[in-house]
Amino acid sequence: MGAAALAAVALLLFPSRALTVRGARDGDLIWAAPVRAGEEFRLTWIHTVTRRPVTETYAVTAGGRLRLVEMVFDQFGANLPHRPEGGTTWRIERDRIVVTGYDTVLDRLYLGVAPYGHWLQVGGREWDLLAGAGADRSVRLAAERLPFIRILVTEVWQWRNTRPLRGTPKRS
């Protein structure tokens, strides 16, 4: 095997940090996208009571944890903040409440994919969690190191459930 081929194989096997979506119960890798420390991603979901979008922005820390940066919503609902608390600050932007100042850092984020919709925005693409993971499935998001080939394979496999981002998605 030539040096170039050996280098290519080494690159494909080299562990890279990825934002992963795994089954919460079985741990099966559903999707992965490369991320860097400091990179942000967004999780948008439709609130089951208000039927309105809620967007949470997270940043990947240098240690590979997920830090909640902000939450944006336009209607109060169950399990959403109802006032500033715990050091958070609120502001109104384009008729939406933007909550910042969180002191929340997670090793992993667990969520149930509801039939109303969940979208994950990372690396300039939006992934439809409902189409990719299935309705009523519990998943966990984490930043972990994987061989680059696994990241590549899951991205290609789930490509049909992603689309390029074109501004803020409109959900009604």
Residue at 171: amino acid letter: R
Please give the Cα distance from 152 to 3 (Å, whole number). Answer: 22
Question: Residue 67: which residues within 8 A CB-CB, separation 6 or more?
Answer: 58, 59, 60, 61, 102, 104, 105, 106
Q: How do residues 5-56 score in pLDDT, each as one tens digit?
A: 555 555 556 678 999 999 999 999 998 999 999 999 999 999 989 999 999 9
The number of domains in the chain is: 1
Tell whether 7 is covered by a domain.
no
Contact criterion met (CB below 8 Å) for 58 and 67? yes
* Domain carrying residue 36: 12-164
Q: Does any domain span residue 84?
A: yes
Query: pLDDT tens digits, residue range 83-131?
Result: 888 899 999 999 999 999 999 999 999 998 877 889 999 988 898 888 8
> What CA–CA distance (Å, rounded) separates 29 from 20?
7
Tokens of 150: 């696994």
Residue 67 pLDDT: 98
Domain assignment present for 2: no
Residue 67: which H helix or E strand, with range?
strand 66-73
Q: Flag whether 169 is in a domain.
A: no
DSSP H or E stretch at residue 154: helix 148-157
Task: Flag whether pLDDT at 165 surpasses 70.
Answer: no
Q: Is residue 6 part of a domain?
A: no
